[in-house]
Chains A and B, each alone.
Chain A
Amino acid sequence: MILSLMAQQSEQLDGIFQALADPTRRAVLGRLGRGPASISDLAKPFDMALPSFMKHIHFLEGSGLIQTRKEGRVRTCAIDKQRFATIEAWLNDQRALWEGRTDRLEQFVLKTQDKETPK
């Protein structure tokens, strides 16, 4: 109930802020700060049913603070917040640069084409 309420709020509020506002999730992030871990390892310290714990994991994943990957039966979680943020911003810059070039190439081609084929 509380979790679903939080999930709704997160749609309106900053997901990262929300993710950090919960002690379980902060503990998970703290653990992942030391390196990737499986869901079962992460869940061990908490007296919590797995479905409830998974909601925290999904919340963290949804906020972009962690990423999960399944290999066989084991789902592994990892955090690399700073790197992730840096890479994303940097790559977005490169994307914008190449999008811009492509926009201008397209415009140039269409413009010169119009000139040479009178209507």
Chain B
Amino acid sequence: MNFMLNPDTDLTISRVIKAPRARVWSAWADARSFEQWWIPEPARCKVVDMELRAGGAFQTLMSENGGEFGPHLNACFLDVVEGERIVFTNALTGGWRPAAQPFMTAIITLADHPDGTEYLAQVMHKDNADRNMHAEMGFYDGWGTVIEQLAKRMEAGA
């Protein structure tokens, strides 16, 4: 599929993961596995829906510091090719229903690589003030120095 990435609003993350493609796929497609990495600790993730088919609901909840679970992601799968591709957007919710505050479409691609699996995340964002909401979500997602340190440690230990 051809599409243009806009450098002002879109991003691409590419990574070679030293594991078979089927294993990377199941880490994504198995809800219990997905919960373990989607949100960084100490926050916790709960998958409410992960209907891996076009139009299927994709909904996660998040709990910070062991508190009540609140909304995190409410999206809709647009395309799912087993073992190869997952496309979802929060412009829609399950069953193609239009969402209140859309801001992104993500395209996850898995491909065989001599060292394992080439993992590609391409994320396209809406170009307007709704960004603030996503930025807030990013904040709650708790990315930052902890992850960077973790990544560095992994690289150093490899």
Contact = CB atoms under 8 A, between A and B. Distances in A.
A1 B20 CA distance: 59
B123 A105 contact: no
A54 interface: no
Contact of A102 (B19, B36, B121, B134): B121
A93 B138 contact: yes
A106 B135 contact: no
A94 B27 CA distance: 22
Interface residues of A, number: 23
A93 B143 CA distance: 9
A82 interface: no
B11 A100 contact: no
Nearest to B119: A102
Contact of B125 (A94, A109, A113): A94
B79 to A, nearest CB: 19
B9 interface: yes
Contacts of B18: 110
Contacts of A109: 17, 19, 23-24, 27
B138 A94 contact: yes
Contact of B9 (A91, A98, A105, A110): A91
A66 to B, nearest CB: 16
A107 B134 contact: no
A113 B19 contact: yes
A27 interface: no
B141 A97 contact: yes
B119 A108 contact: no
B17 A99 contact: no
Interface of B: 8-9, 11, 13, 15, 17-19, 23-24, 27-28, 33, 36-38, 40, 119, 121, 123, 125, 131, 134-135, 138-139, 141, 143-144, 147, 150-151, 154
7 closest Cβ pairs, A-B complex = A100-B143, A104-B37, A100-B147, A108-B37, A97-B138, A103-B151, A109-B19
Interface of A: 87, 90-91, 93-110, 112-113
